[in-house]
């Protein structure tokens, strides 16, 4: 009889424990719902989108099931995304031509056509601002596409343009991109769904008028090329991108204030409809004389600063530069030259630290011992 009584007690205790767990779980759900609702209410989100999310949240709060926790987690992630998007956040443009010239000249030698095009755009924006105009057609940024060989500075020019305008920049790499969902996101009905690269870029920069760099748009995977190009047409068309739909967010986002800049090695693999919406600017190969000027004025000071080597320790004779520019022959871009200069500076830095030198002048006679081996 004593044993039977003990089993009854255990059953009651287990039943009571289950009830207690259910109460605690319900309280936990209520707390999570309240926290999510507070975030949704206190953040600027389009009213229609907020109402939709609130309705879904209210339905979940009435469900009495263990599955509510997974649903609540998914909904919480979704609300976290929509409340951190820059629906109405802008960065102020710097419409100062002198500032723009300085920013463009700081990192790039030559490229006069590109610099002129950016200065023209800033001038038009400034005139419209002074007149108090809101001419969307005039104030929209040109959609530039820099086309050129590897190492000719296509990507770095985009960063300089963003600096000249005082805008934030985000890079969307297209190399190896497999399908349009990478750009447009995936529907939330899929368990592992997430937004596409465009929405991720906007969340990263935190403004709705950044520069978005569409890098290497000619290098997408062959099987997804046509559908990716279709999304690009929508992104780059000023009459369509004011209501860009990401499948995860499931609500139109206005991209008309974004300045898109594209890069490509060539235009062969870019759809005609996409090219029609781009202002293609060809990036020329650098001549030896241009490379020497870039190396002297831009590259060497930066590399020395990064190495920590005192500037007076290293002296380059003018006759040495042609041997540094062409250690292995002709290269259209600057990357081989950059690696060569870095290799020379590293070797001299080691000798300086080891106490073998206090100062060195690079001449045609001794340069070979400092050139890196490729």
Q: What was the pLDDT predicted at 204?
A: 95
How, if at all, do strands 244-245 and 252-253 pair? Answer: antiparallel
In this structure, the dihedral spanned by the alpha carbons of residues 222, 225, 227 and 232, taken in order and rounded to 10 degrees, is 160
Helix (H) or strand (E) holding 164: helix 154-165
- What is the C-alpha to C-alpha distance for residues 97 and 166, in angstroms, rounded to an integer? 12
pLDDT at 202: 96
Say how many CA atoms lie within 13 Å of 54 toward its Cβ.
Answer: 14
Q: What is the pLDDT of residue 10?
A: 42
100 in Cβ contact with 57 (< 8 Å): no
Taking the model in full, what pTM does it have?
0.78
pLDDT at position 137, please?
47
pLDDT at 96: 86
Measure the CA–CA gap between 153 and 156, rounded to whole angstroms.
5
Q: Say if residues 139 and 124 touch (Cβ distance below 8 Å).
A: yes
Contact 93, 259 (CB under 8 A): no
State the pLDDT at residue 133: 53
Can you give the C-alpha Rg of the chain in angstroms? 29
CB-based contact 214:260 (threshold 8 Å)? yes
Which residues of the chain are modeled with pLDDT < 50?
1-5, 7, 9-26, 135-139
In angstroms, the first-to-last Cα distance of the chain is 90
CB-based contacts of 17: which residues, under 8 Å, 6+ apart? Answer: none
Q: Mind spelling out the 3-state secondary structure of 293-352?
A: HHHHHHHHHHHHHHHCCCHHHEEECHHHHHHHHCCCCCCCCCHHHHHHHHHHHHHHHHHH
| CA–CA gap between residue 201 and residue 88 (Å, rounded) | 15
Give pLDDT, residue 69: 66
The pLDDT value recorded for residue 132 is: 61
Locate the DSSP E strands across the chain. Answer: 144-147, 169-173, 211-215, 244-245, 252-253, 259-264, 279-282, 314-316, 360-362
């Amino acid at each position: 009889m004593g044993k039977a009584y003990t089993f009854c007690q255990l059953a009651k205790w287990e039943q009571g424990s289950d009830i207690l767990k259910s109460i605690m779980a319900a309280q936990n759900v209520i707390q999570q719902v309240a926290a999510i609702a507070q975030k949704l209410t206190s953040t600027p989100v389009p009213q229609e989108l907020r109402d939709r999310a609130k309705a879904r949240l209210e339905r979940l709060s009435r469900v009495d099931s263990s599955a509510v926790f997974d649903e609540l987690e998914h909904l919480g992630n979704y609300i976290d995304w929509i409340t951190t998007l820059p629906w109405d956040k802008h960065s102020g443009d710097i419409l100062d031509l002198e500032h723009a010239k300085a920013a463009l000249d700081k990192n790039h030698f030559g490229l006069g056509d590109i610099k002129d095009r950016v200065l023209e755009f800033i001038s038009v924006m400034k005139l419209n601002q002074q007149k108090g105009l809101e001419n969307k057609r005039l104030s929209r940024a040109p959609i530039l596409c820099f086309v050129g060989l590897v190492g000719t500075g296509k990507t770095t020019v985009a960063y300089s343009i963003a600096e000249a305008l005082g805008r934030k920049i985000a890079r969307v790499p297209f190399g190896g991109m497999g399908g349009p969902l990478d750009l447009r996101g995936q529907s939330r009905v899929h368990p592992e769904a997430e937004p596409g690269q465009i929405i991720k870029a906007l969340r990263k920069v935190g403004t709705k008028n950044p520069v978005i760099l569409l890098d290497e748009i000619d290098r997408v995977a062959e099987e997804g090329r046509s559908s990716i190009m279709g999304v690009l047409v929508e992104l780059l068309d000023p009459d369509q991108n004011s209501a860009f739909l990401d499948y995860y967010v499931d609500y139109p986002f206005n991209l008309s204030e974004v300045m898109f800049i594209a890069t490509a090695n060539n235009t062969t693999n870019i759809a005609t409809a996409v090219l029609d919406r781009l202002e293609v600017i060809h990036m020329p190969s650098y001549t030896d004389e241009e490379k020497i000027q870039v190396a002297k004025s831009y590259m060497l000071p930066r590399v020395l600063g990064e190495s920590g080597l005192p500037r007076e320790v290293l002296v380059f004779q003018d006759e040495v530069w042609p041997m540094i520019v062409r250690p292995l022959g002709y290269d259209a871009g600057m990357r081989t030259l950059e690696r060569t200069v870095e290799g020379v500076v590293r070797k001299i830095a080691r000798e300086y630290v080891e106490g073998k030198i206090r100062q060195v002048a690079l001449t045609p006679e001794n340069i070979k011992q400092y050139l890196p081996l490729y």
